[in-house]
């Protein structure tokens, strides 16, 4: 994350993986960190991620050692053991994940050995070192997935391959405010092709049963610009499972059809089945789009033609491709906010260039003050532009008569439950939200 101070950060530290654990049905995080760490994560990735709320075992129910000065001096292992014992007695869960904070990592508590002792005693306990100085919650998310795979699953050699099963590694729970609807859409799209998807998180996941089935998958799908690649590579080494990396979340007909064809080719699905699914979905999509043609053409002079995106690379790429390639918008400032590792930045930049050639260079910036300076300058070029950003851009959008659609964290003035912009229906929903925003301002 670097040592510099950030204004208005768009993510949290690695212990934000607390929300990754909570997104697994009946999984419970145990936070071995200072007082306030867990509650701040709940606020930033719950309340300010579309008012999502605590959910099962979240919010104030998260067990924490509340690491104090005494533990800094004498170590916190005994307090951690007592917290784990209490959690196992009073909380009903299938998986318990110990997450360490900065203080416990610096002190050097042997959390790995403690978790192993509980597993040897028959308790489903794993640990991930998620001290905030190690990185942000994008890293923390991957650390938790790798911890569960490496500590909880077997070597996989005894697991026969299930030819219809695919593991999905995609959006990050809560960091993507639309994650629940997004994962449900991905699952439904794969099922239309006859596959069964382990989406691993959310209400449509079978919980720990899906994680246990990871070694049996025919292949792994990484559906994001870069998050999940390390996990897929680990699974390829550990179990010999191949993976398909599809960097752009599919939004609208063009991108979703391309995605389904790629899945069909990789999984060797009968092309007639893939074509039938695509034909059915495109007929519906373009039918709805055609019904709005009068409005879109007759009112075009009053509608935005330019858009700016301030979001992580997954959403900036996905929504931008749809607007440029399917709706004829022109891109302005494209700012990726998640601070990807230097090793991944080049290939993320290439994805923006190759997958949507009309984009200028993507800007990697995670400081909210600098982001707003850039956006302020970009908005001077044309009033009334579409702005895909966060609640923090509200005043800036109003000053430039822009149309702000909140799609990236923080989102504290929009309720998001099962909403999604992915797939065919999601593309239509995205257009509805854009133009309802425009029409609402002009009414």
**Residue 298 within any structural domain of the chain:** no
| Rounded CA separation 280/273 (Å) | 11
DSSP summary character for residue 248: S
Residue 383: other Cβ atoms inside 10 A? 12
Residue 2 lies in a domain: no
- Together in a domain, 129 and 79: yes
Give the count of domains, the chain.
3
pTM of the entire predicted model: 0.95
Q: Is 154 exposed, middle or buried (0-12, 13-18, 19+ CB in 10 A)?
A: exposed
Write phi, then psi, for 436 (nearest 5 degrees).
-65, -35
Co-location of 124 and 205 in the same domain: no
Domain of 425: which CATH number? 3.40.50.1980
- Same domain as 326, residue 274: no
Domain shared by 207 and 98, yes or no = no
- Segment 175-200, tens digit of pLDDT: 999 999 999 999 999 999 999 999 99
Query: What pairing do the DSSP bridges indicate for beta strands 162-169 and 217-222?
Result: parallel
Q: Which of 88, 119, 152 is the last residue of a domain?
A: 152
197, with CB counted inside 10 A (0-12, 13-18, 19+), is buried
Whether 253 and 424 have beta carbons less than 8 Å apart is answered as yes
Whether pLDDT at 85 is above 70: yes
Average pLDDT along the chain = 93
Structural domain including 142 reads 14-152
Would you say residue 124 lies in a domain? yes
- Residue 69, burial from CB neighbour count under 10 angstroms (0-12, 13-18, 19+): exposed
My answer on whether 321 and 424 are in the same domain is yes
Task: Tell me, yes or no, whether 258 lies in a domain.
Answer: yes
Give residue-wise pLDDT tens across range 201-252.
Answer: 999 999 999 999 999 999 999 999 999 999 999 999 999 999 999 999 999 9
The answer on 405 and 383 residing in a single domain is yes
Answer whether residue 275 is part of any domain. Answer: yes
Whole-number pLDDT of residue 78? 95
Domain termination site, one of 279, 296, 318: 279
Same domain, 179 and 130: no
């Amino acid at each position: 994350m670097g040592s510099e101070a950030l204004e208005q950060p768009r993510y949290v530290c690695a212990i934000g993986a607390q929300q990754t654990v909570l997104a697994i049905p009946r999984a419970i995080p145990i936070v071995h960190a200072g007082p306030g760490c867990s509650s701040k994560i709940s606020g930033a990735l719950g309340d300010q991620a579309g008012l999502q709320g605590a959910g099962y075992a979240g919010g104030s129910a998260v067990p924490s050692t509340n690491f104090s000065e005494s533990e800094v001096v004498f170590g916190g292992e005994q307090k951690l053991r007592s917290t784990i014992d209490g959690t196992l007695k009073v909380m009903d869960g299938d998986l318990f994940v110990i997450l360490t904070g900065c203080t416990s990592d610096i002190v050097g508590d042997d959390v790995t050995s403690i978790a192993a002792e509980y597993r040897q005693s028959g308790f489903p306990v794993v640990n991930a070192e998620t001290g905030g100085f190690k990185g942000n919650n994008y890293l923390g998310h991957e650390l938790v997935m790798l911890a569960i795979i490496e500590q909880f699953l077997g070597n996989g050699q005894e697991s026969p391959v299930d030819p219809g099963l695919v593991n999905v590694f995609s959006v990050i729970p809560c960091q993507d405010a639309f994650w629940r609807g997004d994962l449900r859409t991905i699952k439904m799209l794969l099922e239309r092709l006859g596959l069964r998807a382990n989406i691993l998180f959310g209400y449509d996941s079978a919980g720990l049963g899906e994680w246990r089935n990871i070694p049996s998958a025919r292949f792994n799908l990484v559906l994001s610009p870069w998050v999940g690649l390390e996990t897929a590579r680990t699974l390829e080494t550990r179990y010999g499972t191949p993976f398909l990396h599809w960097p752009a979340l599919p939004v609208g007909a063009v991108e979703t059809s391309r995605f389904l064809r790629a899945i069909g080719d990789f999984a060797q699905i009968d092309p007639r089945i893939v074509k039938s699914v695509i034909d059915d979905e495109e007929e519906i999509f373009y039918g709805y789009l055609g019904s709005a043609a009068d409005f879109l053409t007759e009112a075009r002079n009053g509608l935005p033609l330019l858009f700016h995106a301030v979001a992580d690379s997954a959403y900036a790429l996905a929504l931008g491709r749809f607007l440029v390639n399917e709706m004829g918008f022109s891109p302005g400032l494209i700012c990726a906010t998640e601070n990807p590792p230097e090793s991944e930045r080049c290939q993320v930049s290439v994805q923006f260039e190759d997958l949507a050639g009309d984009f200028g260079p993507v800007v990697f910036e995670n400081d909210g003050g600098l982001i707003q300076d850039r956006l302020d300058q970009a908005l001077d070029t044309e009033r009334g532009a579409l702005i895909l950003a966060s609640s923090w851009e509200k005043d800036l959008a109003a000053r430039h008569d822009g149309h702000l659609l909140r799609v990236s964290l923080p989102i504290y003035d929009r309720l998001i439950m099962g909403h999604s912009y992915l797939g065919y229906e999601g593309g239509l929903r995205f257009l509805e939200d854009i133009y309802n925003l425009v029409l609402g301002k002009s009414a």
